[in-house]
A and B are shown apart, each in its own frame.
Chain A
Amino acid sequence: EIVLTQSPGTLSLSPGEGVTLSCRASQSISTSYLAWYQQKPGQAPRLLIYGASSRATGIPDRFSGSGSETDFTLTITRLEPEDFAVYYCHHYGSSRTFGQGTKLEIK
């Protein structure tokens, strides 16, 4: 079973800043079956990135994903007020697992 560890747990930033979130896998995800989700309070998660670096439908290009094997990142350039939320990385395939989440809060 692959375990995903996200860091940091919480980030305090201001609109306009850029940020990079980290997700580390306990073993290699050689298929790049790694996704990123955004979740706001009281809402279902929203798919941002799949295949480690492909943006889902309608996702702004300020969101980008990269990485391979065990180290993956989600980068958000120029934070908008609506980007403050919790972000989860997710390994999918036959078995699936989520990271514990990174909360992005307004400074």
Chain B
Amino acid sequence: EVQLVESGGGLVKPGESLRLSCAASGFTFSTYTMNWVRQAPGKGLEWVSSISSNSRYIYYLDSVKGRFTLSRDNAKNSLYLEMNNLRVEDTAVYFCARDFKPQGILAMPAGSWGQGTLVTVS
């Protein structure tokens, strides 16, 4: 069974930093593109960042470029999101999500999700 467990959320002040982690199990982590998607309280979904299986390609939402850094450790089956210079508008539940199928020729959407970790910037 695919499991994605996020951790590292919490309450911070504007300008401070947080590091989110996502522990993956139940699948071959090193073959999947991984993602972070966030959801502000009472709002819709917002894609934040994606990383290819071998970390060669990393993409970010424009509003987090230069502040957030996505990385992964395939040996530890873990995904990380380093968030610096946090803003009030970064307040959200952050979901770790695995692409639906292993990385291949065709792009895939996220198909398995964790339960999320809440980041509050206030």
Q: Which of A's residues lie within 8 Å of B, judged by CB?
A: 1, 31, 33, 35, 37, 39, 44-45, 47, 50-51, 56-57, 86, 88, 90, 92-101
Contact = CB atoms under 8 A, between A and B. Distances in A.
Most buried by B among A51, A56, A96: A96
Nearest to B115: A44
Interface string B41-80: 0001111001000000101001000000000000000000
Interface stretch (B14-22, B24-32, B81-89, B102-110): B102-110
Contacts of B110: 45, 47, 92
Given A44-B113, A44-B116, A47-B100, A93 B107 contact: yes
Contacts of B35: 96
A43 to B, nearest CB: 8
A59 to B, nearest CB: 11
A88 B44 contact: yes
